[in-house]
Amino acid sequence: MHERTMPFDERTMPFDERTMPFDERTMPFDERSAVPRVPLALRAYLASIENCFIALRGRGIQWSHDDGARARSWFDVGVPAGAVVRVIEARVRAWEFSHGRASSVPASLRWYDPAVLDHTRHLRRVGHTEGHACESTGVPADADITLGHLVDMAADLARSAPAPIAAHAYRAGFAALDRRLHGSDAEDATPPDLDAVVDRARAAVVKAALGGLPDAERAALEADIEEQLRPLRATLSRKALQARGRLLLEARISAHLGLRLPTRAGWKEPDDLA
């Protein structure tokens, strides 16, 4: 694909009709006249996505029919261009965290679609509307956390972890969260239950951290938890006892290693987990 300049100039077309194989429903050109026949807002929207890939990968998208239709569908349902760009940036960071910066980042928009849809559901859930503006607002406040933000935070925590055992635990949490945003998921997959996804990620973090402890240290921690549960065995059901034990283990392992654990409001420190 030929080189383009950034930022996008709305007075010019950001695409070359010879390399943009859209069908008539998504093609931004009339092949008979090569005259733009879509709204300027849509052209700018597509250019924002294209320029994002150029900035991140040094080249644009090959723009298959599927890519064009997918981008057009995001535009039609009102997904802000800025939101799409932020999601793509976050998914590229997640990919590079898992595969290394030298690896080839997925270029098809299909791979990013689950994360875009997750972000779209979030915008609707919080009643947020921002049109098609491209402004970036960064990571939102606690009440506005999305699955994508939790993935981003997990990678940051793993990179800055003070000890290998903590980095390993955060990577386990990252993998559990990131798995739900893979582009290989079916397009019509049911929306992720954020509570269930977070619970699985917490369990993965705790399991990885516990497994990384020396045998004697792990045995002492488990014995201490068992001691705290003993007086409750006569009054709590088996299910309630298991839930209490899980909470005690999370609190103890988090405090012992200084680990943050994932919640719907972000990755929380031990003192904030109560």
What are the pLDDT digits (tens) for 198-243?
A: 999 999 999 999 999 999 999 999 999 999 999 999 899 999 999 9
Q: Residue 108 carries which DSSP code?
A: S
Instruction: Please give the model's pTM, rounded to 2 decimal places.
Output: 0.72
pLDDT at 109 over 90: no
Backbone angles phi, psi at 7, to 5 degrees: -75, 175
The pLDDT, as a whole number, for residue 235 is 92
Q: How much of the chain exceeds pLDDT 70, in percent?
A: 72
> How far is it between the farthest Cα atoms of the chain?
82
Across the range 184-207, mean pLDDT stands at: 75
Q: Residue 209: name the closest of 265, 256, 248, 142 by CA.
A: 256
The pLDDT, as a whole number, for residue 175 is 94
Domain extents in the chain: 1-138, 143-274
pLDDT, tens digit, for every residue of 113-161?
888 888 888 777 766 544 443 333 343 444 457 888 899 999 999 999 9
The Cα 132–Cα 15 span in angstroms is 20
Q: Please state, as a whole number, how many other Cβ atoms lie within 10 Å of the Cβ of residue 107.
A: 17
The pLDDT, as a whole number, for residue 47 is 85
Sorted by sequence, the CB contacts under 8 Å of residue 229 that are 6+ apart come out as 241, 244, 245, 248
Q: List C-alpha distances in Å: 229 to 92, 194, 211, 243.
A: 44, 29, 21, 11
Q: Residue 83: name the closest of 49, 56, 59, 114 by CA.
A: 49
Backbone angles phi, psi at 15, to 5 degrees: -120, 160
The Cα 179–Cα 114 span in angstroms is 11
The pLDDT, as a whole number, for residue 226 is 94
pLDDT at 15 over 50: no
Higher pLDDT, residue 80 or 64 = 80
Across the range 165-173, mean pLDDT stands at: 96
Q: Residue 272 carries which DSSP code?
A: G
The Cα 162–Cα 265 span in angstroms is 23
